[in-house]
Amino acid sequence: MANATKTKNKKPNWFRRVGAKLKETFSELKRVTWPTFPTVLKTTGVVLAVVFAFLAIVTGVDALLGLLLGLI
């Protein structure tokens, strides 16, 4: 009786679990609505603009703090 409960609670082997997870992942990826190329270009442009804006702000604050530190 103890042997039956042991095999009942036993997980499938590692390869079966990984295979099942990969199958599930690819199945989910087929249902994804992928953006069009113009949409990708627009959003990439927005991301780059925001990154460069923050770069300018951080560089300006760094330069200002450097000048203030130089006065000490």
Q: Which residue has the higher pLDDT, 3 or 33?
A: 33
How far is residue 71's CA from residue 65's CA, in Å, rounded to a whole number? Answer: 10
Are the CB atoms for 46 and 38 separated by under 8 Å? no
pLDDT at 11: 76
pLDDT at 6: 57
Domain that holds residue 43: 2-71
Number of domains in the chain: 1
Q: Cα 19 to chain center, whole Å?
A: 22
- On whether the CB atoms of residues 8 and 16 are closer than 8 A, the answer is no
Token code pair at residue 72: 């000490």
The pLDDT of residue 14 is 87
How far apart are the C-alpha atoms of 18 and 15, rounded to whole Å? 5
